[in-house]
Amino acid sequence: MPASQWVKTLIFYELLVGMKATITVFIDRIVLRKRKAVTLQYPHEKRDLPGTYRGMIALLKYDDDTEKCVGCDLCEAACPSRVITVISSEVAGEPMKRYAKEYYMDMTRCLFCGLCVQACPVDALAMTREYEWAKYNKRDLYLDKEQLLALGDRNFPVREKKLEFQHPNVAYFNIGYKNLPPKDS
């Protein structure tokens, strides 16, 4: 064995090469104090989430406290993991209108892909930035409508006006809409 190989073996050369990045950071951070720590002391410190972060899903309401969801089942059809169960019903006294009488999400199966949010025709679903949902019992992640609406209220306190009031023309094409808003002059 050549002498250089002996030296490399004696000083654990391969090990030092493998640890190069670790040793460099150790010297910079601990010895020279040139770098800031990259470890966050979670849960006391939290990472800044990217703007596109997809967290727990919420159901939304309009500003007059009515639910946006019209029970159309499109989110259930769009979901690749069969997370969503919608049981829809007619709005009492308004047979042209429907709503989600019951709405369930089994969040143990959710991929956070956002397809349900995209499928919803009335923007009744939204992805929040909540992620601290670790549970001891997985049944606690089977969320009902009230829990999903509470998530929406908590994360989106500013609610939208009803579509009829956002776009007055919508009301005139909606044969199920009883009380037309005033026409813009």
Q: Is 79 in the site for ligand SF4 (CB under 6 A)?
A: yes
Q: Position of tokens 């009380």?
A: 179
Q: Which is nearer to ligand SF4, 69 or 151 (CB)?
A: 69
Parallel/antiparallel/unpaired status of strands 57-59 and 125-127: antiparallel
Instruction: Name every residue whose Cβ is closer than 8 Å to that of residue 60 and which is 6 or more positions away in sequence.
Output: 67, 68, 123, 124, 125, 126, 149, 152, 156, 159, 160
Q: How far is the CB of 82 from ligand SF4 (least distance, A)?
A: 8
Q: Is 145 helix (H, G, I), strand (E, B) or coil?
A: helix
Per DSSP, helices labelled H in 112-159 are 115-119, 145-155
Give the footprint of ligand SF4 on residues 106-145 (CB under 6 A): 110-116, 119-120, 122, 124-125
Q: Is 73 in the site for ligand SF4 (CB under 6 A)?
A: yes
Q: How far is the CB of 9 from ligand SF4 (least distance, A)?
A: 54
Q: How far is the CB of 169 from ligand SF4 (least distance, A)?
A: 21
Q: Is 171 in the site for ligand SF4 (CB under 6 A)?
A: no
Q: Which is nearer to ligand SF4, 128 or 181 (CB)?
A: 128
* CA distance to 55, 84, 104, 118, 121, per residue, from 115 (Å): 13, 12, 16, 5, 12
Q: Where on the chain is the footprint of ligand SF4 (CB under 6 A)?
A: 57, 69-75, 78-81, 83-84, 86, 100, 110-116, 119-120, 122, 124-125
